Amino acid sequence: MCPTGCKSPAVCTNNACVCPSTTCSCPQPNALNALTNPGFNTNTSGWSSSGGGIVSFVPNDDATSCQTSGSMKVVAAADTDVWACATVVPGAVYNWGLQWKPDQTTNYMLTCLIYLTTGSACPNPALGGAGASLNEVLTDSPPANGWSSAGNFDISGSSFDTTGFTRAILRCSVQGTVQIDMAYITPTNQGGHF
């Protein structure tokens, strides 16, 4: 029996939705992507939130229309932060980015930042923390409809140096309703993408 929720034109093979190669793709994260659960295939584990907004997993709504993956949805009346931590190699250079999609019926804002720190804790960098260092801020406007595309918010040219740090925290502040997918913190010399 096929699972419910498969988007058309998904087909069912071995009781699972599959992606016809002519209509969508299911890219896998770069093996060196330092983030946990960057593609939200089944849930939002590995990501934290604060600020009172509702954070949920949305199945079958993926940046590449992959039928077997999903995205993280944030519904926030006021600022809500979502973040994920990654262990990085001190002195290496990394690229970072993500894909996103707003709900066009509401006012929305997405601002993403990279913080660098040491230690094993993964606090919300908006609250400060020992050794936290703001690296870069990116605010972007998506296309009129649908997911952002490569070159729009998939900021593959954006990089940071981790000299003196062992952790990178990707934090996004959300207002309104926004979905996030295909996040990455990947070594520049290894492709530096999702």
Phi, then psi, of 39 in degrees rounded to 5: -110, 0
* Residue appearing with tokens 């519904």: 75
Task: Output the pLDDT for position 28.
Answer: 81
Tokens of 192: 């530096």
State the CB neighbour count (10 A cutoff) for residue 20. Answer: 10
Q: Which two tokens stand for residue 146?
A: 């649908």
Q: What is the mean pLDDT of each run of 10 residues along the chain (194 residues)?
A: 47 56 70 93 94 92 84 91 93 87 78 83 66 48 59 53 88 89 87 69
**Run of H or E including 156:** none
Give residue 142's pLDDT.
55
Question: pLDDT value at position 126?
Answer: 67
Domains of the chain plus CATH, in order, are 28-190 (2.60.120.260)
DSSP 37-93: SSS-SS--TT-EEESS-EEEEEET--TT--TT-EEEEEEEEEEEEEEEEEE--TT-E
Q: Which residues pair with 58 in a beta bridge?
A: 71
What b/e string do you get for 106-115 counting C-beta neighbours within 10 Å, with b at 16 or more? Answer: eebebebbbb
d(CA 146, CA 163): 37
